Structure 1
Amino acid sequence: MATIEARRNAAGRVTSYRVEWYDGGQRKRQTLPTEQAANQWKGLLEAVKHDTMAAQTALLRQVSQSPTFEEVALGHIERLINVREYTIKRYRGYIKNHFDGLRHLPVDQVTEDDLIRWIKGMTKKGCSPKTVANVHGFVHAAMNSAVRRRLRVDNPCNGRLLPKDDATEDKAMFLTMEQVNAIIDHADPWHQPMWRLLIGSGLRLGEATALLATDFQLDAVTPSVRIMKAWQEMEDGWAVGAPKTKKARRTVALAPSTVEAIRERVESAPRGKPVFSISPTTTVYPQHRQWLDAWYAAVKAADLGLEKRPRIHDIRHAHSSLLIAGGMNLFELANRLGHEDISTTTKTYGHLVPDVHFRAAAAVEQALTGIIEA
């Protein structure tokens, strides 16, 4: 327990107050000018079980004039430009749901130790390494904003703080064409043109459901569809906006079988209305939840005996794997899928390129033996 001793001069007048305590078996002393300051220091010490460093940190935080980290993070969001509203909504969700332990700290007093405790807390409550990394990325950006605004001198997020992603399960499923056909054959006939478009083009669901008849060139020398918009979630609902990235604005060539599967739906679409609706009479958009339900109903009806349930996005993976098997390289595939960075394509589909591993093994063999295959 910390104690306070009044210090007096030769005339007996109190001139200062000395606080004494033990930290790790060592006696510590601190002289303060007022009784109020001494009591404050004593209270801080006792709150942190006489940990001198922790008490000093707490004192600095009490006297800091800096805004809280939550205030800085919200300010960072307000300064963002050219960012989709869905992204803004996600960032606000991070602040609401994942800032425990950080939100009320003065931004100039947030330390690497605070971040480590915060990351451990995120992991303890069941957040995946990917979720932790995503939120940490936002925290890192907000701290960079604080540095630029001269609210602190450094970014405590720098360094290797994040947990490793040791998940052994690959979320992506690579369905065969036979499996895709089985699911589509068990789908409602009205929905089948949509699924044929997705497997034939690799479009994202939000891109496909935003298409108008004018986006298609079905009778061109090379039939195609132009992607210039997509459904996206805003702060107050859903709306059609720009695609996910700049490279997502693209033209996707369509095979004759895909054209045949979607032609009637495209040509009969009402002017200015999306081509693919969940039913002939539905006019309310968006319909993402209904399309998910329709897909899962077809998956269940097909009863393929798969270990896990394939998602709509797995149609995109199936499309990609079919193209790779047919000889398309990853650079061409990245352009077709609308990936902003080819590293995304490589990370997801690199293991499917059939001859890459063979060429690598052959190169190693040549280096080791000096033998060149004829």
Structure 2
Amino acid sequence: MATIETRKNAAGKITSYRVEWYDKGKRNRQTLPTETAAVQWKELLEAVKHDTQAAQTALLRQVSKSPSFEDVALGHIERLINVREYTIKRYRGYIKNHFVGLGHLPVDQITEDDLIRWIKGMVKKGCSPKTVANVHGFIHAAMNSAVRRRLRPDNPCNGRLLPKDDTTEDKAMFLTMDQMHLIIDQTDDWQRPMWLLLIGSGLRLGEATALTRADFQLDAATPSVRITKAYQEMEDGWAVGAPKTKKARRTVALAPSTVEAIRSRVESAAPGRPIFTVSPDTLVYPQHRQWLDGWYDAVKAAEANEDNPLKIHKRPRIHDIRHSHASMMIAGGMNLYELANRLGHESIITTTKTYGHLVPDAHFRAAAMVETALNQSIAS
């Protein structure tokens, strides 16, 4: 327990107050000019179990005139330009759900130790390494904003070691065309063209649901669809906006079989209206929830088919149709640069990280290199 001792001059008048405490077995003393300051220091010490450094940090935070980190992060969001509304909504979600232990602190008083405690707290509550990395990336950007605004001298996020993703299973699932047909065969006639378009083009769901008749060139020398827009989640609901990235604005060539599957639907669509809807008479846009339900119902039906079971170890998502399209393109000889352009990836790094292991030539070359090295070793 910390104690307070009054200090007097020769005339017996109190001149100061001395707080005494033990931290890790070592006696410490601090002289303060007023009783109020001494009591405050004593209470801080006892609140942190006489940890001197923690008490000093708490005191600095009490007297700091800097805005809270939550206010700084919200200000950072307001300053963002050319960012999708869905992304803004996600950032606000980070502040609401993942700023425990950081948001209330003055931005100039947040330390590396605070970040370490925050990371451990995120892991303890069950957040995946990817979630921790995503939120940390936003915190890092908000801290950079604070540095630029001269609210603090440095960014405590620099050099942070984030938890590794130790999962042993690929998140992406790659279906064969036979498996795709098993699922698509379980869908109704109205929805089937949509699924055939997705597997034949690799489009994102939000891109496909925003398509209108004017986006298609079905009778060109090389039939294609032009992607210039996508459904996205806004602050107050869903709306058509710009594609996910700059390179997502692209032209995707279509195979004759895909053209045949979608032609009737495209040509019968009203000008300017979305082509691919979950039912002929729907008036509600978009219908992502209904498309998800339709897909998962078809997957369940395919799995339950005793005559021709799907034979998969986990339930594929709609986005796995895109992954499956990519794997088929690679198997057909498309290189990763071409694939990145077809899928609308902003960086080929994304394509390489997701699909690089599927490139057959790389595996063959690696196997040949190993064989050569082993034979040289045996010969020597």
TM norm structure 2 = 0.95
- Give the RMSD, CA atoms, in angstroms: 1.3
- Give the secondary structure class of the aligned counterpart of 2:360: coil
2:202 counterpart of 1:196: no
Structure 1 residues 97-108: aligned runs within 5 Å? 97-108=97-108
The match for 1:232 is: 232
Q: 1:270 offset after TM fit, Å?
A: 1.1
Q: Is 1:342 paired with 2:351?
A: no
Q: Show the 5 A alignment for 1:51-66.
A: 51-66=51-66
The answer as to 2:363 corresponding to 1:354 is no
1:276 equivalent in alignment to 2:276: yes
Taking the TM superposition and a 5 Å limit, the aligned residue runs for 1:298-309 are 298-303=298-303, 304-309=310-315
Query: Partners in 1 of 2:362 and 2:311 — Cα distance?
Result: 31
Structure 1 residue runs of 5 or longer lacking an equivalent are: none
Residue 82 of structure 1: SS of its match in structure 2?
coil
Cross-structure match for 2:295: 295
Which digits, 9 at most, give the CA deviation of each residue in 1:277-329, with x for residues without a partner?
11010021010000011111111111213221111111111111111111000
SS of 1:275 mapped into structure 2: coil
Which of 313, 321, 335 does residue 315 from structure 1 map onto? 321
Q: CA deviation at 1:362?
A: 3.4
Question: By how many angstroms is 1:221 displaced?
Answer: 0.4
Partner of 1:68: 68
2-structure distance, mates of 1:306, 1:323: 21
Unaligned ranges ≥5, structure 2: 304-309
Correspondence 1:14-33 to 2 at 5 A: 14-33=14-33
**One-letter code of the match for 1:321?**
S
The Cα offsets for residues 23-63 of structure 1, whole Å up to 9 and x where unpaired, read as 11111111111111111111111111111111111110111
User: Which stretch of the first structure deviates more once superposed, 138-147 or 162-171?
Assistant: 162-171
Quote the Cα distance in structure 2 between the aligned partners of 1:256 and 1:40. 78
State how far apart, in whole Å, the 2-side matches of 1:88 and 1:369 are: 57
Q: What letter matches 2:348 in structure 1?
A: I
Equivalent residue number for residue 205 of structure 1: 205
> How many angstroms does 1:340 deviate by?
0.4
Q: How many residues align?
A: 371
Find the aligned partners of 2:149 and 2:142 in 1 and give their Cα distance. Answer: 11
* Distance in structure 1 (CA, Å) of the matches to 2:113 and 2:332: 51
The alignment partner of 1:58 has SS state of helix
Amino acid at match of 2:204: R
Deviations 1:62-96 (A, max 9, x none): 11010000010000000000000000000000000
SS at match of 2:166: coil
Between 189-198 and 158-167, report the one with greater CA deviation: 158-167
Distance in 1, Cα, partners of 2:376 & 2:46: 72
Cα distance in 2 for residues equivalent to 1:87 and 1:52: 41
1:292 maps to a residue whose letter is L
Structure 1 CA distance, aligned partners of 2:263 and 2:44? Answer: 74
- Residue of structure 1 in register with 2:307 after alignment: none
3-state SS in 2 of match to 1:355: helix
**Is the deviation greater in 361-370 or in 302-311?**
361-370
In structure 1, C-alpha distance between the alignment counterparts of 2:164 and 2:179, rounded to whole Å: 34
Task: Supply the distance in 1 between the matched residues of 2:311 and 2:179 (Cα, whole angstroms).
Answer: 10
Distance (whole Å) between structure 2 residues aligned to residue 186 and residue 365 of structure 1: 46
Residues 1:243 and 2:243 aligned together: yes
Structure 1 stretches of at least 4 aligned residues deviating more than 2 Å after TM superposition: 360-371
- Residues 213-250 of structure 1: CA deviation (Å, up to 9, x unaligned): 00000000000000000000001100000000000000
Matching of residues 85-124 of structure 1 within 5 Å: 85-124=85-124
Aligned letter for 1:291?
A: W
Greater mean alpha carbon deviation, residues 61-70 or residues 362-371: 362-371
Distance across 1 between alignment mates of 2:261 and 2:77: 44
1:260 Cα deviation from its structure 2 partner = 0.3
The reply to whether residue 153 of structure 1 matches residue 159 of structure 2 is no
3-state SS, counterpart of residue 272 of structure 1: coil
Shift, 1:171, TM fit: 1.4
Specify the SS of the correspondent of 1:154.
coil
Partner of 1:328 in structure 2?
334
**Aligned-partner Cα distance in 2 for 1:9–1:244:** 73
Q: TM-score, normalised by structure 1?
A: 0.97
Q: Distance in 2 between matches of 1:15 and 1:156?
A: 40
Deviations 1:144-194 (A, max 9, x none): 000000110010001133111101121111000000011111111101000
**Partner SS, residue 7 of structure 1:** strand
Paired AA for residue 157 in structure 1: C
- TM-superposed deviation, 1:22: 0.9
User: Partner residue of 1:164?
Assistant: 164
Cα distance in 1, alignment partners of residues 302 and 189 from structure 2: 14
Aligned residue for 2:306? Answer: none
Greater mean alpha carbon deviation, residues 154-163 or residues 86-95: 154-163
Is the partner of 1:196 in helix, strand or coil?
helix
Structure 1 residue 176 corresponds to structure 2 residue 176 = yes
SS state at 2:17 partner:
strand
Q: Separation in 2 of the partners of 1:41 and 1:201? A: 66
Deviation at 1:370, TM superposition (A): 8.2
Shift in Å, 1:365:
5.8
